[in-house]
Structure 1
């Protein structure tokens, strides 16, 4: 087992999320494969104490899960990201322009293609503008939060089913 502060202390959902995030980084780095990730993530969702989480990461280098009362690892400060716009009222002028212009461009392009005035590949112009706008301003808004809540519920269900299996 690794040197975990107060291994008998119970962990929170935030600790589990930190552990799942760290485990994902290990999978991305190629230290573990997808099957081992699935096995370890199930153990993380079922873990109750810091010691149990420490055992899961005993053979892996940093990153490890963080705990509320332990200081986060020292790293270079990252620049603060601008908050994602939450709705049309907070959009910048370029965002408003694209939001109004791209749908009109789609309609005009489809009409020109249908009448045979231009070639069908012209449809790539409004598609390109839509992709550009999405890449510049991201996905923002309430849908991201909803996905986070669904993922949390899925992890809790997985944890509970794993605990039931252990009880049998």
Structure 2
């Protein structure tokens, strides 16, 4: 198993969203690109998924705690779903729409803090999507 194949959790996704926010604040990312990358962060499953989003950006990048590589644990393998439910697909659209909403609100209220709506919605969507429900299906077995 390579370093990039290690699965990530919510803490790593939140750290990646914070780093993307810093890049947007520094002017390295446009709002649309920030929205696209934030949506991908919320659905990332592995370290490699996250690191690919920062390949063209300088530091900060998401850091990962020291998780030792170990031998795979044998056990039942849950089948992967072939598609995501409609609700999950609609939630994935929420982050880019939050970006558009933040731009519209900025022109109405003239306050740059409305751009904080984007990472808040990204974190909420990420926690709602989780790992596409696979964790819940495993608990029901």
The TM-score normalised by the length of structure 2 is 0.49
User: TM-score, normalising length from structure 1?
Assistant: 0.42
> Relative CO higher for 1 or 2, CA cutoff 8 Å, sep ≥ 6?
2
When Rg is computed on C-alpha atoms for both structures, the one with the higher figure is 1
